[in-house]
């Protein structure tokens, strides 16, 4: 092996080891819990709530939601008494993103059908870095309040 081949092999090995160290455990590791939707009172809109836990060392963000239930699903946050549509919500490394009454939530606009109590709605959460997660959302009574 000449000096140039040895140097190329050493650089290839070093680059491979460096890239291997960049992946693995540092990626976001997301799980969803407590997903529910209060039974909608009209055919026009519904809300949904859940918690996303990130057990990874990298911050991620919820960027969109898809489902066959509605024509449009948007991500909202509440500031004071005002709801604001946002493009994404952060999920901190080793932290949680909480969606609940009076805070962050999903809005389903233009429902294709009106779900009733005990139905299960399937949604797909999309993130900036992690793979999408399919979530079964249980429809609860309109006045349902989760226990903390």
Q: Give the three-class secondary structure for 114.
A: coil
Contacts of 126 (CB under 8 A, 6+ apart): 62, 63, 64, 65, 66, 132
CA-CA-CA-CA torsion sign (94, 100, 104, 108): positive
Summarize pLDDT for 40-78 with one digit per residue, the tens: 988 899 999 999 999 999 999 999 999 999 999 999 999
C-alpha distances in angstroms, 60 versus 55, 83, 87?
11, 23, 13
Instruction: Select the CATH number that applies to the domain covering 30-140 from these four: 2.40.10.10, 2.60.40.1890, 1.10.760.10, 3.90.1650.10.
Output: 2.60.40.1890
Q: How far apart are CA 6 and CA 89, in angstroms?
A: 48
- Please compute Rg for the chain using Cα positions: 21
**Average pLDDT per block of 10 residues along the chain, 148 residues long:** 46 41 69 97 94 97 97 94 95 97 95 96 98 98 88
Structural domain boundaries in the chain: 30-140
């Amino acid at each position: 092996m000449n000096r140039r081949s040895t140097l190329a092999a050493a650089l290839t090995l070093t680059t491979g080891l460096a890239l291997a160290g960049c992946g693995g455990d540092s990626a976001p590791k997301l799980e969803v819990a407590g997903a529910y939707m209060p039974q909608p009172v009209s055919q026009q809109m519904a809300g949904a709530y859940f918690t996303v836990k990130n057990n990874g060392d990298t911050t991620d963000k919820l960027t969109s939601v898809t489902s066959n239930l509605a024509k449009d699903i948007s991500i909202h946050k509440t500031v004071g008494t005002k709801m604001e549509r946002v493009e994404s919500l952060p999920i901190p490394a080793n932290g949680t993103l909480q969606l609940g009454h009076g805070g962050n939530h999903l809005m389903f606009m233009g429902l294709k059908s009106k779900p009733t109590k005990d139905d299960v709605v399937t949604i797909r959460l999309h993130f900036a870095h992690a793979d999408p997660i399919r979530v079964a959302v249980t429809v609860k009574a309109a006045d349902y309040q989760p226990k903390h």
